[in-house]
Amino acid sequence: MADKGIFAGLPWWVTWVVVPVILIVVFGGLITAALGFLISLLFKVLIAAALIAGAIYLVRRFTGSSSSSSKSDW
């Protein structure tokens, strides 16, 4: 019966309730920090993409209106 190990003879609720709760309490901060970092990184990437797209739009709008001959070259 080596497959049961330390949990042999303990009630079912120790294995299925107490152990997961202890692991969540111990590693919960790490999980929260990792999720927070990923969400923050995704948000920053989206903000950067929006700012770059806005800058490209503004540059094309203002430079395209002054030189309409360059549009006809395309």
pTM for the predicted model, two decimal places: 0.55
Residue 6 counted as domain residue: no
Residue 21 counted as domain residue: yes
Task: Please give the pLDDT value at position 4.
Answer: 64
CA 48 distance to own-chain centroid = 15
Q: What would the pLDDT profile of 19-69 be if each residue is shown by its tens digit?
A: 999 999 999 999 999 999 999 999 999 999 999 999 999 999 999 865 555
- Report the distance separating Cα 15 and Cα 12, nearest Å: 5
Task: Please give the pLDDT value at position 3.
Answer: 57
Residue 27 counted as domain residue: yes
Residue 1 counted as domain residue: no
Report the candidate in 24, 17, 12 with the shortest Cα–Cα distance to residue 4. 12
> What is the tally of structural domains in the chain?
1
Task: Please give the pLDDT value at position 13.
Answer: 92
The DSSP element (H or E) to which 8 belongs, if any, is none
